[in-house]
Chain A
Amino acid sequence: MGVPTIEFPDLKSIPPIDQVGVEERAARFQTRSIKAETKMSALRLAVTMLDVTTLEGADSVGKVRQMCAKAMRPLPEDPSVGPAAAVCVYPSLVRVAAEELAGSGVKVASVATAFPSGQARMKERLAEIRYAVAEGADEIDMVISRGKFLSGQYRAVFEEIVRCKEACGKAHLKVILETGELRTYDNVRIASELAMGAGADFIKTSTGKVQPAATLPVTLVMLEAIQDYVDRTGRKVGMKPAGGVSTAKLALQYLVMVKETLGDAWLSNEWFRFGASSLTNDLLMQIRKQQSGRYQSGDYFSKD
Chain B
Amino acid sequence: MAAERAGGGGRARKVVPKSDHDFVTGTSYAPAPESSDHVKLAKNYDLFIGGKWVKAGKRMKTVNPATEKVLAEVGEAGAKEVDLAVKAARKAHDSVWGKMPGRERGKYLFRVARLLQERAREFAIIESMDGGKPIRESRDVDLPLVAAHFFYHAGWADKLEYAFPGRKPRPLGVAGQIIPWNFPLLMAAWKLAPALACGNTVVLKPAETTPLTALKLAGLFEEAEFPDGVVNIVTGGGATGQALVEHPGLDKIAFTGSTAVGKMIQRSLAKSGKRHTLELGGKAAHLIFEDAPINQAVEGIVNGIFFNQGHVCCAGSRLLVQEGVAEEVIRKLKRRMETLVVGDPLDKNTDIGAINSQEQLGRITKLVACGTEEGARCWQSGQQLPGRGYWFKPTLFTDCAQSHRVVQEEIFGPVLAIQTFRTTEEGIEKANNTPYGLSGGVWTDKGSKIFKVAGAMRAGVLWANTYNKFDPTSPFGGYKESGVGREGGVHGLGGYLELQE
* Beta-carbon contact of A16 and B445 below 8 Å: yes
Contacting A21 at CB < 8 Å: which of B21, B29, B291, B300? Answer: B300
Contacts of B291 in A (CB 8 A): 16
Q: Is B239's beta carbon under 8 Å from chain A?
A: no
Q: Which of A216-274 contact B (CB under 8 A)?
A: 224, 231, 255, 259-260, 264, 267-268
Q: Determine the distance from Cα of A268 to Cα of B331 in the docked complex, in whole angstroms.
A: 25
Q: Is B259's beta carbon under 8 Å from chain A?
A: no
Contacts of B331 in A (CB 8 A): 231
Contacts of A38 in B (CB 8 A): 21-23, 26, 29-30
- Contact A35:B29 (CB < 8 A) given known A15-B294, A16-B445, A17-B293: yes
Q: Determine the distance from Cα of A36 to Cα of B21 in the docked complex, in whole angstroms.
A: 8
Q: Label chain A's interface by main secondary structure.
A: helix
* Beta-carbon contact of A267 and B24 below 8 Å: yes
Q: Which of B268-324 contact A (CB under 8 A)?
A: 291-297, 299-300
How many contacting A-B pairs (Cβ < 8 A)? 85
* Beta-carbon contact of B23 and A267 below 8 Å: yes
* Beta-carbon contact of A32 and B349 below 8 Å: yes
The residue in chain B whose Cβ has the minimal distance to the Cβ of A43 is B23
Contacts of B252 in A (CB 8 A): none
Q: Is B31's beta carbon under 8 Å from chain A?
A: yes
Q: Determine the distance from Cα of A20 to Cα of B445 in the docked complex, in whole angstroms.
A: 13
* Beta-carbon contact of A18 and B21 below 8 Å: no
* Beta-carbon contact of A45 and B29 below 8 Å: no
Q: Is A291's beta carbon under 8 Å from chain B?
A: no
Nearest Cβ in chain B — how far from A230, in angstroms? Answer: 12
Q: Is A33's beta carbon under 8 Å from chain B?
A: yes
* Beta-carbon contact of A35 and B32 below 8 Å: yes
The residue in chain A whose Cβ has the minimal distance to the Cβ of B22 is A41
Q: Determine the distance from Cα of A31 to Cα of B351 in the docked complex, in whole angstroms.
A: 11
Nearest Cβ in chain A — how far from B274, in angstroms? Answer: 42
Q: Is B19's beta carbon under 8 Å from chain A?
A: yes
Q: Which of B401-450 contact A (CB under 8 A)?
A: 445
Contacts of A210 in B (CB 8 A): none
* Beta-carbon contact of B293 and A39 below 8 Å: no
The residue in chain A whose Cβ has the minimal distance to the Cβ of B26 is A38
Interface string of B25-65 (1 = CB under 8 A from A): 11001111000000000000000000000000000000000
Contacts of B22 in A (CB 8 A): 37-38, 41
Q: Determine the distance from Cα of A31 to Cα of B347 in the docked complex, in whole angstroms.
A: 11
The number of chain A residues with a CB under 8 A from chain B is: 29
Nearest Cβ in chain B — how far from A56, in angstroms? Answer: 33
Q: Is A34's beta carbon under 8 Å from chain B?
A: yes
* Beta-carbon contact of B31 and A18 below 8 Å: no
* Beta-carbon contact of A260 and B26 below 8 Å: no
* Beta-carbon contact of A224 and B26 below 8 Å: no
* Beta-carbon contact of A45 and B23 below 8 Å: yes
Nearest Cβ in chain A — how far from B344, in angstroms? Answer: 12
Contacts of B121 in A (CB 8 A): none
* Beta-carbon contact of A37 and B21 below 8 Å: yes
Q: Is A69's beta carbon under 8 Å from chain B?
A: no
- Contact A35:B300 (CB < 8 A) given known A16-B293, A21-B466, A41-B23: no
Q: Is B458's beta carbon under 8 Å from chain A?
A: no
Contacting B30 at CB < 8 Å: which of A24, A37, A267? Answer: A37
Q: Is A88's beta carbon under 8 Å from chain B?
A: no
Nearest Cβ in chain B — how far from A186, in angstroms? Answer: 9
Contacts of B294 in A (CB 8 A): 15
The residue in chain B whose Cβ has the minimal distance to the Cβ of A225 is B295
Q: Determine the distance from Cα of A259 to Cα of B339 in the docked complex, in whole angstroms.
A: 9
Contacts of A36 in B (CB 8 A): 21, 30-31
Q: Is B104's beta carbon under 8 Å from chain A?
A: no
Q: Determine the distance from Cα of A171 to Cα of B294 in the docked complex, in whole angstroms.
A: 34
Q: Determine the distance from Cα of A267 to Cα of B466 in the docked complex, in whole angstroms.
A: 30
Contacts of B473 in A (CB 8 A): none
Q: Is A22's beta carbon under 8 Å from chain B?
A: yes
Contacts of B19 in A (CB 8 A): 37, 41
* Beta-carbon contact of B29 and A33 below 8 Å: yes
* Beta-carbon contact of B296 and A22 below 8 Å: yes
* Beta-carbon contact of B349 and A33 below 8 Å: yes
Nearest Cβ in chain A — how far from B406, in angstroms? Answer: 27
Most chain-A Cβ atoms within 10 A of its Cβ — which of B26, B29, B292, B349? B29
Q: Is B93's beta carbon under 8 Å from chain A?
A: no
Q: Is A183's beta carbon under 8 Å from chain B?
A: no
* Beta-carbon contact of A32 and B293 below 8 Å: no
* Beta-carbon contact of B295 and A224 below 8 Å: yes
Interface string of A7-28 (1 = CB under 8 A from B): 0000000011110111011000
* Beta-carbon contact of B140 and A31 below 8 Å: yes
- Contact A25:B296 (CB < 8 A) given known A35-B29, A37-B30, A38-B29: yes
Q: Is A213's beta carbon under 8 Å from chain B?
A: no
The residue in chain B whose Cβ has the minimal distance to the Cβ of A16 is B445
Q: Is A284's beta carbon under 8 Å from chain B?
A: no
Q: Is A85's beta carbon under 8 Å from chain B?
A: no
Nearest Cβ in chain B — how far from A255, in angstroms? Answer: 7
Q: Is B348's beta carbon under 8 Å from chain A?
A: yes
Contacts of A231 in B (CB 8 A): 331
Q: Is B136's beta carbon under 8 Å from chain A?
A: yes
* Beta-carbon contact of A33 and B348 below 8 Å: yes
Closest 10 CB pairs of A and B: A21-B296, A33-B32, A18-B293, A42-B23, A36-B30, A33-B348, A18-B296, A41-B23, A38-B30, A16-B445
Known A-B contacts: A38-B22, A38-B23. Give 20 more (CB < 8 A).
A16-B292, A16-B293, A17-B296, A20-B296, A20-B465, A21-B466, A22-B296, A25-B299, A31-B140, A32-B29, A33-B348, A36-B21, A36-B30, A41-B21, A41-B22, A41-B24, A45-B23, A45-B24, A231-B331, A255-B23
Query: Which residues of A does B touch, CB under 8 Å?
Result: 15-18, 20-22, 24-25, 31-39, 41-42, 45, 224, 231, 255, 259-260, 264, 267-268
Query: What are 10 sample pairs from A and B whose C-beta atoms fall under 8 A apart?
Result: A18-B293, A18-B296, A18-B297, A18-B445, A20-B296, A21-B299, A31-B140, A34-B30, A36-B21, A260-B339
